[in-house]
Amino acid sequence: MASIVSSLGSEKEMRLQRFFSSPVRFHLLYKSSHHGATVNQLLSSFDNSGKFLLSVFLQSGSVRGAFTSKFLRHGTEFSDTEAFVFEMDENDAKYFPVINPAEAIRISTQQASVKLKGLRHEISQSSSSISFGSCLNFKLDNGFWYVSFCTDETFGTTWAQEKNIHCVDVELHRVQDLVEFMPTPWREVSWTDPARESLRQEFVSYKLPKNYPMSRVKALLLGPVGSGKSCFVNSIRSTMYKRIVHLPNVGTAKNGFTKKLNIYNINGEKGGSPTVLSLCDVMGIGDDDSTGLSFSDALAVIKGHVPKEYKFQPDVPVTDAVSGYIPNPSLNGQVHCVLFVLDAVKLTSYPSSLKSTLRKLHTTISDLGIPQLILLTHVEQVCPTVQEDLKYVYSSRTVQDKMQKAAELVGLPLSYVLPVMNYVSQLKVDCNTDILLLSVVMNILQAVDDTFEDRYPSIRPISSQKLEDGDI
């Protein structure tokens, strides 16, 4: 929405913000002059939850509108104790809080067919409206927005009656309560280009101690379909190559796009030497073992029994009977860290069966002594301010709440949850996005190092050690 500019302007926004008891911010969701005057477009712009401001701009230069705390996409009548209507001109701004909440909002959608004499076809005419009490009525009539006003007891307005006034523009804004943001972030990050380059160089130069029994770190991405596992691989490579990478391993499909065990080296630059990290991508975890990666197949990957590019088959579990099965994998061939990849948007809609699977995996992987982290993707989609500026990711209470839910879903502490934004629609890399991605990478390496330091307490990291080639 960044390219679409609201007609409110900063002065009118400040006037409207005074109508709220606590600080708020407006996020433009719909603008009729840009998106078109259709009721479906307007209603579909309402998010599944949130509070909203609807404004109409008149030829006189004045603005009238209404606030609602309700999601108006479905239903016809809404009770809203927080609703109010308002009016603004160049000199003044007034608002009228709801007096009768039960009659606050009504929505009607009608479509009629008119049969013309002598013609074989019919002409379809549509008329839809959104009314706040009876004082403010937005009406869509054959592709044009009109508004009507009158005196009304529902909101206590004293407006003179005016009917079917043509609207110059109609806007819908999400209203965000800024108390959702903490005065100080719970994780301190420097969002600068030097900080990004420092993280990149730290990652590129990272080496495992010589006496560790493996030469590389293999991290496995586990998560439900559509959580962003393959996109994470692309995003890490984009960060390292300093441009958006388009690999063929990303796509959308009902049961997931990835079907094979894909293992990707992460190079320090395009065509450069590999870093110490490899990322393993597998098919998504389903609602049960018959619809996605099974529990037993996930363990087979972790233990190193599954060959590279093995194609998973839900009805054929990985055993020593499958072609290429690795009976005695070396530590290099095993997984050293597991990343549970979860979508912040879908957290509350995941089935209970997924929670059971994740908890079971967490317990079993813990018994194997393998470190685990949670990668929380799409965090920008749950908080508009974070979407506009990623540096607020560690100040947003909404994001922190999603992180807590992700931690509870798997059974790990909150400190093990790493929020991230993948490169999905961008055409070039971004400093803040890179910093989050590189922070995840360093957390993986540090978690593995912490685990092996406990197993081999006399060993200390040697940053200057030469990277050895190892099994993938």
* Least reliable range by pLDDT among 170-174, 282-286, 302-306: 282-286
409-419, pLDDT tens digit by residue? 999 999 999 99
380, 402 Cβ separation under 8 angstroms: no
64, 56 Cβ separation under 8 angstroms: yes
CA 393 to chain centre: 12
The ranges of the chain annotated as CATH 3.40.50.300 are 193-455
DSSP 211: T
In this structure, the chain runs to a length of 472
SS3 label, residue 63: strand
**Token duo for residue 355:** 């929670």
Q: What share of the chain in percent tops pLDDT 70?
A: 88
pLDDT, position 120: 46
CB burial class (10 A; 0-12, 13-18, 19+) of residue 1? middle
CA trace torsion 386, 392, 396, 400 (10° rounding): 90
Query: Span 238-255, mean pLDDT?
Result: 76
**pLDDT-derived band of residue 118, with 50, 70 and 90 as boundaries?**
very low
171-217, pLDDT tens digit by residue? 999 998 876 778 788 888 999 999 999 999 999 999 998 888 888 99
Q: What is the DSSP string of 60-71?
A: TS-EEEEEESS-
83 Cβ contact list (under 8 Å, min separation 6): 66, 67, 68, 69, 70, 97, 98, 101, 104, 105, 132, 155
412-470, pLDDT tens digit by residue? 999 999 999 999 988 999 999 999 999 999 999 999 999 988 786 654 544 444 444 44
30, 72 Cβ separation under 8 angstroms: no
Mean pLDDT of the chain, nearest integer: 87
Q: How many CB atoms lie within 10 A of CB 344?
A: 26
280/310 Cα distance (integer angstroms): 12
- Name the pTM for this structure: 0.68
* Least reliable range by pLDDT among 47-56, 243-252, 347-356, 395-404: 243-252
CA trace torsion 193, 195, 200, 202 (10° rounding): 160
320/327 Cα distance (integer angstroms): 7
23 Cβ contact list (under 8 Å, min separation 6): 17, 177, 178, 179
Q: Which CATH architecture has domain 193-455?
A: 3-Layer(aba) Sandwich (3.40)
Q: Which residue do the tokens 């098919």 mark?
A: 283
Please report, as a single letter, which amino acid is at residue 248: P
Of residues 300, 314, 310, the one with CA closest to residue 225: 314
